[in-house]
Chains A and B, each alone.
Chain A
Amino acid sequence: MIPQDLKYTKSHEYVRLSGDEATIGITDFAAEQLGDVVFVELPEVGRVLKKGESFGVIESVKAVSDLYSPIGGTVVAINESLNDEPSAINEDGYGDGWIIKLQAASEADLADALTPEQYQALIGA
C-alpha cells in the first residue's frame, strides 16, 4: 500500500512534510525493484539542496542509482544507521529506512510533486 500522507517523485523518492521539516526516502516500490540495498552514500549535514538536486547514491545487488531531492532545503539529519544496516530501506522504507531530513523546506516546491494517486498510477499498482 502506498502511504496516503506523502508526496512522491517520478524518480521514486517520497517526501513527508511536517511543518518546515521534510523527511525523504525511497518508496517500497523502488526498494523492491532495486532488490537488496547494500550501500547508501549520504550527504553531509548542513548541505543546502535545491529541488531536483542529487544528494546521494543508493546501491543494491542489482543497480546503482542517484537519489534526488524532491524539495529544496538544508540537510539537518542523515540516517547514519543506514551505514551499518542499509537493509532498513528494504524492510521499512517509510519508517526506519528514511534517508535524510531537510529544514526550511519550501512547500511550494511540492506543487508539481505526485499525489499518492498519481504515484500509484505511475507504478501501475
Chain B
Amino acid sequence: MSFSYLPHTEAERAEMLEAIGVASMDDLYQGVPERLRDFSLEAIPTAKSELEVTRLLTDLAGENRSANQFASFLGAGAQRRFSPSAVDWILHRSEFLTAYTPYQPEVSQGTLQVIYEFQTMIAQLTGMDLANASMYDGSTATPEAAFMAMRVTKRNKVVVASSVHPEYREVLSSYAVGPGLQVVQAPLSGGFIDRDRLRALMTDEVAGLIVQVPSFFGGVEEGRELAEIAHAAGALFIVIADPTTLGVLEAPGAYGADIVIGEAQAFGNPVSFGGPYVGYMACRDKLSRQLPGRIVGATVDSRGQRCFTLTLQTREQHIRREKATSNICSNQALNALAATVYMEVMGKEGIFELGNVSIQRAHALAAAICEVPGFSLALPGPFFNEFVVRSPLPVPELLGKLREEGILGGIALSGWYPELSDCYLVSVNELNTPADLDRYVATLKALTASAAVGAR
C-alpha cells in the first residue's frame, strides 16, 4: 500500500514498524477483520445524482429512532427537556453561531454580555458569589474543582461520594494521575453517604469532599451535615448540582458549599449523541483567584457607558502558560448561550415550575410502580426526579420489552453498580405527561402478568 500523497518512504515505514515491534503492514492490521482488509474500491457503487443521494441518506436516517419518538424516562446526567423555541432562534443568529471564543473580547460585547448573564444566573441558582464562563461539561468540572481545593488547602487528597455519577468519578480519577491527586471513595449506606465512615475518611490530609445533590440515584442528601463534616476537617465542600433542581431545592451555597459545579445541558441543549454539553462552575468570592477559565465583569467605558470585559483571564490561554493551573482554556460559549437564553425565557418561576412538575410526577410514578407486583424502590429516602427501581424481571429483558412498547423505561445500573444488577434508574420530567406515566405502569402490569403466565 503506497500512496503518492502520503509522504512516508518505505524506509520510514519499515523503521516505524520495527519501533512498534511488528514485521509488516499485514501484521499491523491483523486486528482488522479479513473482509475489511480485502475491501476493494470496485465494491463502491457507481456515481449517483444529488437527488438519489439525498433519498438514500434520508432513508438511512429514517432508520434511526429519536428519543422524541418514545416516552423517555432516561436520565443519569443527560436530560431530554423542553426547550423554548426562542433558544434556537437566538442561538442560530450568525453573530453568536460563528464566534468560537472572544479573542478580541471587548469588541464582542454581545458575547461578553451573554457570558456575564450566564455567570450571574448560575451564581444566583447555586447561591455562590461568582461563576466562570462555563466548562466543557459537568464531568470535567469535577476534577477542576478538586484541583482548586488542592491549591487552596495545599493538600493532595479528595474524598468523593460513591453516589457521584460513576463517569464523573472516572474522569476525576483520570485527571488525578497527572498532578498526583489521591482520590478516595466514600461508601454508601442505602444509597446515601455513610456518615460515620465518611467522618473516618475526612482526615487533615483531605483537600475537598465532593458530593452530588441530587445524587446519581436521585437521592437528596442533607447538605448541612456534609458541609460540617468537610469543614471540620479543613476541607472544601464541593457540590455537584443539577441546575434543574435548584428552583425547588435549597441552593448549595445556603448549606455551606464552597464550590458548586454541574451540568447545564438540560437548559436548552439537546441530548445529542452525548454532546456537546456545558458544565458550570461557581465558587465563593475568596476562591475567585483559583477559579479556572474566564470571568466576565461589568464596568463602564471612558464615556461612562455600561460595558463588559474579561475581568479574569486564564493564564492557560494567554500569558504565563507554563504556570497554568488548569487545562481549561475554552468555555462552551454557544452551549452556555443556549442555557442563558433558556434561563431568561423560563425565568425564576419557570425554573421553579420545571422542578416542581418533575418532582411531583416522579413521585407519582414511583408510587404507582411500587403497586405493581414485584416492583419496589431499591433505595429508600428522599429523592427528586430520579429513583432506582428493583425489578422482578431481568432488567435488560424488561427494558427491551418496554422499548418495544415505545417506552424508554430507564437505565440499567449493573454496569456501574454490580450489586444493583436487578435495578434500573428512572428519570421523570416535564416532558413525561400523566398519560405517559399511566401507560408506563399499565405496560409494567401487562409484562409482569404475562411473565407470570409464562412461568406457569
Residue A57 interfacial (CB < 8 Å):
yes
Question: Which residues on the A side are within 8 Å of B319 (C-beta)?
Answer: 64
Shortest Cβ distance from B327 into chain A, in angstroms?
A: 19
B55 at the binding interface (Cβ < 8 Å) = no
- Does any Cβ of A come within 8 Å of B48's Cβ? no
Q: Is residue B303 within 8 Å, beta carbon to beta carbon, of the partner chain?
A: no
> Does residue A44 face the partner (Cβ distance < 8 Å to B)?
yes
Tell yes or no: B65 within 8 A of A by CB: no
> Number of A residues contacting the other chain (C-beta, 8 Å)?
6
Cβ contact within 8 Å between A39 and B154: no
What are 6 A-B residue pairs whose CB atoms fall within 8 Å in the complex?
A: A39-B289, A57-B323, A64-B315, A64-B319, A64-B320, A83-B286
User: Is the Cβ of B320 less than 8 Å from the Cβ of A41?
Assistant: no
Known pairs A41-B289, A44-B154, A64-B320 / 5 extra A-B pairs, C-beta < 8 Å: A39-B289, A57-B323, A64-B315, A64-B319, A83-B286
Q: A41–B288 Cα gap in the complex (Å)?
A: 12
**Complex Cα gap A64–B289 (Å):** 13
Per-residue CB proximity of B277-294 to A under 8 Å, as 1/0?
000000000100100000
A89 to B315, CA, bound (A): 23
Q: How far is A44 from B319 in the complex, measured between Cα atoms in Å?
A: 25
Contacts of B323 in A (CB 8 A): 57
Chain B residues in 8 Å Cβ range of A83 = 286
Which residues 298-329 in B have Cβ within 8 Å of A in the complex? 315, 319-320, 323
Within 83-107 of A, Cβ neighbours of B (below 8 Å) are at 83
CA distance A112 to B47 in the complex (A): 80
- Indicate with 1 or 0, residue by residue over A35-66, a CB within 8 angstroms of chain B CB atoms: 00001010010000000000001000000100
B residues 307-357 near A (Cβ < 8 Å) are 315, 319-320, 323
Cα–Cα distance between A57 and B286 once the two chains are bound (Å): 17
Minimal Cβ-Cβ distance residue in B for A43:
B154
Query: How far apart are the CA atoms of A28 and B19 in the complex, in Å?
Result: 58
* Chain B proximity of A96: nearest CB distance (Å): 20
Contact residues in B for A41 (Cβ distance below 8 Å) = 289
* Cα–Cα distance between A44 and B154 once the two chains are bound (Å): 7
State the A residues within 8 Å of B (CB). 39, 41, 44, 57, 64, 83
Q: Nearest B residue to A47 by beta-carbon distance?
A: B154
Q: When chains A and B are docked, how far (Å) is the Cα of A64 from the Cα of B286?
A: 19
- CA A44 to CA B207, docked complex, whole Å: 14
For A44, list chain B residues within 8 Å (CB): 154
- Mask of B88-115 contacts with A, CB within 8 angstroms, 1/0: 0000000000000000000000000000
Residue of A nearest to B288 (CB): A39
On chain B, the residues within 8 Å of A64 by CB distance are 315, 319-320
**Chain A residues positioned under 8 Å from B289 (CB to CB):** 39, 41
**Chain B residue at minimum C-beta to C-beta distance from A41:** B289
Residue of A nearest to B289 (CB): A39
Q: Which residues of A contact B154 (CB under 8 A)?
A: 44
**Smallest CB gap from B153: residue in A:** A44
Q: Which 6 A-B pairs have the closest CB atoms?
A: A44-B154, A39-B289, A64-B320, A64-B319, A57-B323, A41-B289
Alpha-carbon separation in the docked complex, A44 to B320 (Å):
22
List of A residues within 8 angstroms of B315 by Cβ: 64
Name the residue of chain A whose CB is nearest to the CB of B319: A64
For B320, give the chain A residue with the smallest CB separation.
Answer: A64
CA distance A57 to B319 in the complex (A): 13
Nearest-Cβ distance from residue A37 to partner chain B, whole angstroms: 13
How far apart are the CA atoms of A36 and B181 in the complex, in Å?
A: 35
Q: How far is the CB of A27 from chain B (nearest CB, A)?
A: 22
A83-B289 Cα distance, complex, nearest whole Å: 11
Give min CB distance, A66 to chain B, whole Å: 8
Question: Shortest CB–CB separation between residue A38 and chain B, in angstroms?
Answer: 9
Q: Distance in Å from the Cβ of B314 to the closest Cβ of chain A?
A: 12
In the complex, residue of chain B having the shortest beta-carbon distance to the beta carbon of A44? B154
Cα A43 to Cα B320 with chains together (Å): 18
With a cutoff of 8 Å between Cβ atoms, the chain A residues found around residue B320 in the complex are: 64
Task: Please indicate the chain A residues that have their CB under 8 angstroms from the CB of B286 in the complex.
Answer: 83
The minimal Cβ–Cβ distance linking B207 to chain A, given in whole angstroms, is: 12
**Which parts of B133-175 form the interface with A (CB within 8 Å)?**
154
Report how far A39 CA is from B319 CA in the complex, Å: 16
CB nearest to B290 among chain A residues:
A41
A57 contacts which chain B residues (CB < 8 A)?
A: 323
Once the chains are docked, how many angstroms separate the CA of A64 from the CA of B323?
Answer: 11
CA distance A64 to B320 in the complex (A): 8
Q: Which residue of B lies closest to A46 (CB)?
A: B154
Shortest B105–chain A CB gap in Å is: 17
Report Cα–Cα, A57/B290, bound state, in Å. Answer: 13
- In the assembled complex, how far is the CB of residue B438 from the closest CB belonging to chain A, in whole angstroms? 58
A1 to B320, CA, bound (A): 32
Interfacial chain B residues near A39, Cβ < 8 Å: 289
Q: Which residue of A lies closest to B286 (CB)?
A: A83
Q: Which residue of A lies closest to B155 (CB)?
A: A44
Write the nearest CB–CB distance from A89 to chain B, whole angstroms: 16
Across the interface, name the chain B residue whose C-beta is closest to A59: B289
For residue B205, give the distance in angstroms from its CB to the closest CB of chain A: 14
Instruction: Quote the shortest CB–CB distance from A21 to chain B (angstroms).
Output: 22
